Amino acid sequence: MKCPYCGFRRTKVLSTDPDARGIRRRRECPQCQQRFTTLERAVLTTPLVIKRDGRREEFSREKLLAGVRIACARRPISADDLERLADRVEDYIRQTGKTEVPSKMIGDRVIAELRELDPVSYIRYAIVYLGLEDLEAVRAEINRLLEESQTPTGRK
């Protein structure tokens, strides 16, 4: 592992711990004595995403996280919560066993995850994803959420 501070090519591993997202290693550079942490994850193949217009592109975890971060901006949601959400979505599409998945499948999974995580973030994401084009459509979605949260099978 190359030191991110001085570029020295051989760093020393001080500790190794399993992490939910991979293997976390604490390292030290013998050249500059700086310490840093690395996270090792298995590189697993994910299906291609079929876009609405028929184009196909590689699944991008970063693109997924960017969209979710926008929906969750200024909400009390930790970066770890967002990472776990992305992990669950990525695992879900990988477990389909398909070589190509429609973008709608990913969007549906993200919106379901956001619905459980934070209702305000869900509404923000839904406005774009579900195409809620006017205030009445947004109000109807909010009312539906409120009704579900007040029923015995709801979350509250």
Over residues 69-108, the pLDDT tens digits come to 999 999 999 999 999 999 999 999 989 889 999 999 999 9
Cβ neighbour number for residue 125 with a 10 Å cutoff: 22
pLDDT tens digits, 120-152 = 999 999 999 988 889 999 999 999 988 888 876
Euclidean distance between CA atoms 156 and 68, whole angstroms:
24
Is the per-residue pLDDT at 156 higher than 50?
Answer: no
Mean pLDDT of 111-116: 94
Cβ neighbour number for residue 27 with a 10 Å cutoff: 18
Residue 81 · residue 89 · CB < 8 Å: no
Angle formed at CA 53 by CA 63 and CA 92, multiple of 5 degrees: 45
State the pTM of this model.
Answer: 0.67
Query: Using the 8-state DSSP alphabet, how is residue 58 labeled?
Result: E
Helix (H, G, I), strand (E, B) or coil at 16: strand
Euclidean distance between CA atoms 153 and 73, whole angstroms:
29
Domain ranges in the chain are 1-41, 48-150
- For residue 89, give Cα distances in angstroms to 82, 86, 137, 146: 11, 5, 26, 25
Residue 37 · residue 24 · CB < 8 Å: yes
Task: Tell me what the pLDDT averaged over the chain comes to.
Answer: 91
